[in-house]
Structure 1
């Protein structure tokens, strides 16, 4: 079994008045993460918020998840809606799965 992990700034929209900071409608962002080592099969991936900077004049509505998990990479998906204004967000992630080993047998 192998474990890979990391931290990723997803966006920082307050400085340039980006879409997440505009606070209107349905907004998604996808960030591709590449594992440091290939897994034998797609691993189990856990994603969580490690920093969330939001405006205080509206409800905080956020959803974070992983998607399109393969042996080599996955996407972090951040979603907000309504009038929520998100200035910036960072996610931490961890992947657990089978990795190749020098002692593995390759029997044809």
Structure 2
């Protein structure tokens, strides 16, 4: 965690792979099976209060023959 001038203020960052089904022809890649993935994330240090969390896509590989939908949500922070 990077601490700012005020030692009670910090920024933690990381990249979590939720799935990578194209390598093994997995469910998300073939269009069958569960359409939801959830991951638990542990911060590197404890925050004094629940932090503000920003989530975004770091890689998006898709087929153009289907509708493109995604919802990225931080829950239970």
TM-score tier after normalising by the smaller chain length: 0.7 to 0.9
SS at match of 2:36: strand
> Which of these two proteins has the greater Rg computed from alpha carbons?
1
What is the alpha-carbon root mean square deviation over aligned residues?
Answer: 1.6
The normalised TM-score by structure 1 is 0.57
C-alpha distance after superposition, 1:52-80 (max 9, x if no partner): 011121121111111121xxxxxxxxxxx
SS of residue paired to 2:18: strand
The ranges of structure 1 where at least 4 consecutive aligned residues each deviate by more than 3 angstroms after the TM superposition are none
Structure 1: 5+ residue runs without aligned partners? 70-108
The CA distance in 2 between the partners of 1:37 and 1:25, in whole Å, is 36
Task: Tell me the number of residue pairs that the alignment of Structure 1 and Structure 2 aligns.
Answer: 69
Gaps of 5+ in 2: 1-8
Structure of higher RCO (CA pairs closer than 8 Å, 6+ residues apart): 1
* The structure with more helix, counted as a fraction of residues: 2
